[in-house]
A = this chain, B = another copy of it.
């Protein structure tokens, strides 16, 4: 991974397969308001962030549910799209 996130930030790669129904039809309009599934590809060091001690509790490879509107989309190359979120915008880990 070429991105090292700062502080309590986490780099995610969206799991686009989840954006389709079981029959495989993509429903882009309907998906807009929903939280998103993604895989963690890089994790910040945590520690003192904005005056608060933050411990990181996700790790590379975790599948997570995150709040879509909180993240920032990053396009590194034409084929690489990432989302950088704060760990507090990750709602849950999928097991």
Contacts and interface: CB of A to CB of B under 8 A. Distances in A.
Interface of A: 2-7, 9, 11, 21-22, 34-35, 42, 45, 47-55, 57-58, 65, 67, 72-78, 84, 87-88, 90-95
Taking the full assembly, how many copies of this chain does it contain? 7
Per CB-CB distance, the 10 closest pairs between chain A and chain B, nearest first, are: A51-B52, A5-B92, A3-B92, A4-B93, A84-B91, A35-B72, A2-B95, A6-B90, A4-B95, A4-B92
A24 to B, nearest CB: 13
A33 to B, nearest CB: 8
Contact of A65 (B22, B47, B74, B77): B74
A65 B7 contact: no
